[in-house]
């Protein structure tokens, strides 16, 4: 008998097959700073001042944020007065209501993105990350809106503790914001820097990102909390996080630019970029999730689309079907 031909399995969309809970770490970086990390899931930063607490990125739902709050209460009873949005992505902002902050801080560029594409991004991300949006029904209706906005930089004083809130340039999004504690030389980078985790670049500015990383490095942080991955607790680890992020962004964009310049279509460029980058980065968290989005955005930028297009749930699935299935 002739054996029946096997049919390749259809690759699960984005992170829909990622259902395993991650172990959480709550790392003390100084008397003022903690990192909430979970094996490559989105990180949250905590700054404790003399009279109040600042939370940087909120987790994806209020139920998930409750675990952050529980750990904060293990180390301080000071009120959580401020929440900072490092950028507009739903997985970073929709847990904000759990903290009941006095103010939600974001850059004007992030506010513009929330206005322009917040609803579409919310629907898109919930479809991609079912595990990260556990108990999504706990998210209040509507979007998370900043109550304080700034352009370029602002300084927040938590008693005597100086907290600098900075836009150092575009990279992961046009609204990227970092938090810098000059007294401790600790930086919370949001998704501008990742560590052993694949940068999501679907809304990125590939040609700007390396210079923004130079601006991060120029602060000379001793410790750094990336958007994903373990807290970087010495200068060698910080350098490795910056170098790894830079190398990934540069390698992806270089491969895509070469394919686009040769007149190849997106699917061909995608396959060639996967082959070129998997040996170095394929072991990183969410590599297979991110690469279709990353290459699609890089191809747009390389072919003259300076600003990212809006990702809708419908565009997500159409892109995935075209590139992966």
pLDDT at residue number 134: 84
Q: Which two tokens stand for residue 285?
A: 């968290």
Higher pLDDT, 319 or 17: 319
Query: For the segment 61-86, what is each residue's pLDDT rounded down to a tens digit?
Result: 999 999 999 999 999 999 999 999 99
Q: What is the pLDDT of residues 111-163, one digit of tens each?
A: 999 999 999 999 999 999 888 898 899 999 999 999 999 999 999 999 999 99
pLDDT, tens digit (0-9, with 9 covering 90-100), for 268-317:
999 999 999 999 999 999 999 999 999 999 999 999 999 999 999 999 99
Provide the CA 158 distance to its chain's centre, in angstroms: 25
pLDDT at 229 over 70: yes
pLDDT score for 7: 35
Whether 208 has a pLDDT exceeding 60, the answer reads: yes
Helices (H), ranges, 129-234: 209-218
List the beta strands (DSSP E) in the chain.
Answer: 25-28, 33-38, 41-48, 53-56, 80-84, 103-107, 148-150, 153-158, 161-166, 178-181, 186-190, 223-226
- Per-residue pLDDT for 185 more than 80? yes
Domain limits, the chain: 25-324
The structure's pTM equals 0.95
* Edge-first strand listing for the sheet containing 161-166: 153-158, 161-166, 178-181, 186-190, 223-226
pLDDT at 2 over 60: no
**Distance (Å, whole) CA 44 – CA 262:** 42
Quick one: pLDDT at residue 70?
A: 98
Residue 207 has pLDDT above 50, yes or no: yes
Task: Provide the edge-to-edge strand list for the sheet that holds 103-107.
Answer: 25-28, 33-38, 41-48, 53-56, 80-84, 103-107, 148-150
Reply yes or no on whether the pLDDT at 4 is more than 50. no
Q: For residues 313 and 133, what is the distance between their CA atoms, to the nearest angstrom?
A: 15
Q: What is the pLDDT of residue 1?
A: 38
Q: Under CATH, which architecture does the 25-324 domain have?
A: 4-Layer Sandwich (3.60)
State the sign of the Cα–Cα–Cα–Cα dihedral 241, 91, 68, 283: negative
Query: For residue 288, what pLDDT is reported?
Result: 94
pLDDT of amino acid 17: 75
Using the predicted structure, report yes or no on whether residue 45 has a pLDDT greater than 90.
yes
For residue 5, the model assigns a pLDDT of 38
What pLDDT, on the 0 to 100 scale, is given for residue 16? 79
Does 226 score more than 50 pLDDT? yes
Q: Ranked by mean pLDDT, which of 20-29, 121-130, 189-198 comes out on top?
A: 189-198
Q: Measure the CA–CA gap between 87 and 36, rounded to whole angstroms.
A: 17
pLDDT value of residue 14:
72
């Amino acid at each position: 008998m002739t054996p029946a031909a096997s049919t390749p399995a259809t690759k699960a969309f984005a992170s829909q097959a990622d259902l395993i809970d991650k172990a959480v770490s709550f790392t003390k970086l100084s008397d003022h700073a903690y990192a909430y990390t979970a094996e490559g899931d989105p990180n949250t930063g905590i700054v404790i001042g003399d009279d109040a607490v600042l939370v940087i990125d909120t987790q994806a739902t209020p139920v998930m944020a409750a675990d952050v709050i529980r750990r904060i209460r293990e180390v301080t009873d000071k009120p959580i007065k401020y929440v900072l949005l490092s950028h507009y992505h739903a997985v970073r902002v929709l847990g904000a209501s759990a903290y009941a902050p006095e103010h939600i801080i974001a850059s004007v560029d992030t506010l513009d993105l929330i206005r322009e594409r917040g609803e579409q991004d919310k629907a898109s991300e919930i479809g991609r990350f079912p595990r990260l949006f556990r108990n999504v029904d706990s998210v209040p209706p509507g979007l998370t809106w900043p109550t304080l906005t700034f352009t370029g930089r602002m300084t927040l004083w938590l008693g005597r503790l100086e907290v600098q809130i900075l836009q150092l340039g575009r990279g992961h999004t046009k609204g990227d914001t970092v938090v810098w504690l000059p007294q401790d030389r600790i930086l919370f980078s949001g998704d501008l820097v990742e560590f052993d985790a694949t940068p999501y670049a679907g809304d990125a500015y590939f040609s700007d990102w390396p210079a923004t990383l130079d601006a991060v490095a120029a602060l000379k942080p001793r410790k750094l909390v990336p958007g994903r991955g373990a807290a970087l607790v010495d200068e060698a680890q910080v350098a490795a996080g910056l170098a790894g992020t830079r190398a990934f962004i540069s390698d992806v964009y270089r491969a895509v630019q070469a394919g686009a310049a040769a007149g190849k279509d997106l699917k061909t460029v995608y396959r060639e970029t996967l082959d070129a980058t998997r040996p170095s980065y394929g072991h990183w968290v969410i590599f297979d999730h991110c690469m279709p989005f990353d290459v699609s955005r890089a191809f747009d930028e390389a072919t003259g689309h300076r600003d990212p297009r809006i990702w809708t749930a419908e565009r997500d699935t159409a892109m995935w079907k075209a590139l992966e299935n």
